[in-house]
Structure 1
Amino acid sequence: MKKLIIPLIIFLMLVSGCSHATEIEGKKDARGTKKLHIVTTFYPMYYFAKKVAGNLADVDLLIPNGVEPHDWEPTAKDMAIIQDSDVFIYNSRYFETWTEKVLNSIDRSNLKIVEASKGIELIDGISEEGENHKENTASKDPHVWLSPVLASQEVDNITKALEQKDPKNKEQYEKNAAVFKSQLADLDRLYKKTINEAKKKEFVTQHAAFGYLAKQYGITQIPIAGLSPDVEPSLSKLTELTELMKKKNIKVIYFEGLVSSKVAQTLANEIGAKTEVLNPLEGLTKEDQKKGLDYIGVMKKNLDALKLSLY
């Protein structure tokens, strides 16, 4: 992570924060009461918060859709937006690695901070060399939102925080959350049924983002690279994967829409396989947005894509 120049940032926060606070203060609901202002880091957090909050809050997305979030860092303006909000929601310190430093640099006295993955047992990360099933004690895999079951736990954490910050609307938050968790339960059942009927149990990805989904449904992710999507594997690792895929007759390699598919395409060309998108939902692509897709829609598309490997 690039070094944050804290004194300058704090100065700029004071300037930009004042104007932002004035803007937020004017946002009220139909009854004339001030709405909660919620700031979320990236798309799944934004989507989950919107589902729980409904029309009771204004929810902002900090990392724009279409931007790869692993290497994104907040500007002074972003930090001011966080400070001036009522609730700040992020997934995990292992994903938004800048959060601790930022939160220690701002006034948090009126800010409810939500680490949505809190209480979820995180699995060890895949090494950046792409070595499968090796522990990396320096990091944990943060991609819990890709399991509908764990996503539901994140929704619980978000709901609890909103109820604490805005207790008068507790009942409505609980109703909204219940409706959304019912949709997640339907998604879970669809994944279970589809994968239980599959003949194969392995799939190859360019980015090791699908460990929780694989664990949830009893399938195996074979990643080309580790948790960072832009890290390229060594030549020896590519050779090893080529031999493995030939042996297992794997014909599909998955890549994601926000980063280059070069590595996946190189390996696919080597063994005569094809490439397909498996979306880690770290941000909606322009194509997703044009199609009106949301978290549920993309997760269903992912399941259809997985069927190409598992059936």
Structure 2
Amino acid sequence: MNKRKSKNKLNGWTWSVTSMLLAVLILSGCGSKSGGSIVEGKVNVITTFYPIYEFTKEIGGDEVNVVNLLPTGVEPHDWTPRSQDIVNTSKAQLFLYNGAGLEGWAPGFLKGLDKDTQVKPVEVSQGIQLIDAVGDDGHGHGEAAQEEEHDHSHEEGTEEAHAGHDHEEEAAETNTDTHHTDPHTWVSPKSALVMAENIKNSLIEVDPEHKDGYEQRYEALKEKLVKLDNDFTSELSKLPKKDIVVSHQAFGYLCRDYGLTQHAIMGLSPDAEPRAQDIVNLTKTVKEKEVKYIFFEELVSDKLAKTLANEAGVETLVLNPVEGLTKEQASSGENYFTLMEKNLQNLTKALQ
């Protein structure tokens, strides 16, 4: 039942109550393959995609049952909720989503929940200084992003040392002047620290009885994120090169926080197709900047990255935006930290 929906603008998602109830009746027998079901006697938390799911599991411990909406091996830009997800979320205590325009379907989804639901929606990117990116995001994230910009603009977010240090490049070096908020906050450990604290605070708010456990496990997660942040800062600052060429514009926060510049083949969404001229321009950039590797992702096609690499006479490497796990990664025990450590290794190799 996890078929991908057509790539329409999801912010205008307007199911009627009647049609949703009908769909629930039809699909209620289909269990959620993405993350499980509601468990009585625990704090039930619905998360929208992998990084939030992992952080919530680590902080929540045994007190919390976490149901992740996004199935393993699915890229979040291509996914929309199912009726069973509405049922589960209506029964949960927390609904944790990234915000910043990532889940364009979220406003319509929340309006479709049961009228008696007690679920508390929390946008875990709150407090992060968001990046305004240029280019086609492929899914109409722009409208949601502009609405949410006001919610974030008053908050300090990342350190002042990075305030004027935005190295993100226009998506695919295009000529478009369409502005969207970059939703890929979690790819930077600095932003992930903010997200983890928001998750911890939301758990305490709905379940103050287990505050001490949440605080203790959050501190353990924070320690790992701080180490990861220190490793990225230390290792990347030593490298002579600072330009990376990537599949889609998912590394703006990583680049801003660690002094890199990204040149993206596609826009904020991997569905935003580049023009032939974009490939020509990027080939030029690869040669001018002496780029040795084109980075691709495992959840999207590597065809364009390999095409560009062939055109420019360079090789390819993986740079993972950690939007989700492949089935192989899930079965082998990979997680946010192992994937980010591999990212650092590959960045170090590419920027020598």
* CA 133–151 in structure 1, closer or farther in 2 if over 3 Å, else same: farther
Normalized against structure 2, the TM-score is what? Answer: 0.80
Q: Secondary structure at the match of 1:67?
A: coil
SS at match of 1:79: helix
The one-letter code matched in structure 2 to 1:181 is K
Q: Which residue of 2 aligns with 1:69?
A: 76
| Aligned partner (choices 212, 217, 228) of residue 253 of structure 2 | 212
Give the stretch that moved more between structures: 91-100 or 124-133.
124-133
Report the counterpart of residue 236 of structure 1 in structure 2.
277
Say if 1:148 and 1:185, in contact at 8 Å, map to a contact too.
Answer: yes
Indicate conservation of the 8 Å contact 2:91/2:117, yes or no: no
Q: Which residue does the alignment assign to 1:111?
A: 119
Question: Identity, % of aligned pairs?
Answer: 39
In structure 2, distance between residues paired with 1:15 and 1:240:
50
Q: CA deviation at 1:264?
A: 0.6
| Contact 2:246 2:265 survives alignment (8 Å) | yes
Q: CA offset at residue 297 of structure 1?
A: 0.5
3-state SS of paired residue (2:134): coil
Alignment of 1:84-163 (within 5 A): 84-106=91-113, 107=115, 109-128=117-136, 130-131=172-173, 136-137=178-179, 139-163=180-204
Q: Output the CA distance in 2 between the equivalents of 1:179 and 1:133.
A: 45
User: Is 1:88–1:111's contact at 8 Å kept on the other side of the alignment?
Assistant: yes
Asked if the contact 2:38/2:88 (under 8 Å) is kept, the reply is no
Give distance in 2, aligned partners of 1:239 and 1:124.
Answer: 25
Q: Which amino acid aligns with 2:38?
A: I
Q: Corresponding residue for 1:305?
A: 346
Per mean C-alpha deviation after superposition, the further-off stretch among 194-203 and 5-14 is 5-14
| Mapped partners of 1:112, 1:264: distance in 2 | 40
Sort the Cα spacing of 1:67 and 1:305 in 2 relative to 1 into closer, same or farther, 3 A. same
CA RMSD of aligned residues (A): 2.2
Answer yes or no: is the 8 Å Cα contact 2:30–2:84 preserved in 1. no
Q: Give the Cα–Cα distance (whole angstroms) in 1 for the partners of residues 293 and 176 of structure 2.
A: 23
* Residues 26-65 of structure 1 deviation map (CA, whole Å, 9 limit, x = unaligned): x4xxxxxx11011111100100110110111111111112
Mapped pair 1:293 → 2:334? yes
Aligned equivalent of 1:79: 86
- Please report how far the alpha carbon of residue 143 of structure 1 lies from its aligned counterpart in structure 2 after TM superposition: 0.5
Residue 24 of structure 1 is matched in structure 2 by 38
Map of 2:289 onto structure 1: 248
Deviation at 1:71, TM superposition (A): 2.0
CA distance in 2 between counterparts of 1:4 and 1:74 reads 13
Deviation (angstroms), 1:292? 1.4
Query: How far is the alpha carbon of 1:13 from its aligned partner?
Result: 4.0
CA drift at 1:12: 4.1
Give deviations 1:258-288, integer Å, cap 9, x for gaps.
1111111111001111111111111101232
**Corresponding residue number in structure 1 for 2:325:** 284
**Paired residues of 2:54 and 2:336 also in contact (CA < 8 A):** yes
Q: What's the CA shift for 1:175? A: 0.8
For structure 2, which runs of at least 5 residues remain unmatched after alignment? 1-8, 32-36, 137-170
Of the three residues 4, 7, 10, the one matched with 2:21 is: 10
Relative to structure 1, the CA distance from residue 108 to residue 91 in structure 2 (aligned partners, 3 Å threshold; closer, same or farther) is: farther
With over 3 angstroms needed to count, the CA separation of the structure-2 counterparts of 1:148 and 1:16, relative to structure 1, is same
Cα distance in 2 for residues equivalent to 1:112 and 1:18: 26
Q: 2:99 corresponds to which letter in structure 1?
A: S
SS of residue matched to 2:322: coil
Secondary structure at the counterpart of residue 181 of structure 1: helix
Distance of aligned partners of 1:310 and 1:135 in 2 relative to their CA distance in 1, 3 Å threshold: farther
What is the aligned partner in structure 2 of residue 30 from structure 1? none
Change (3 A) 1:116 1:268: same
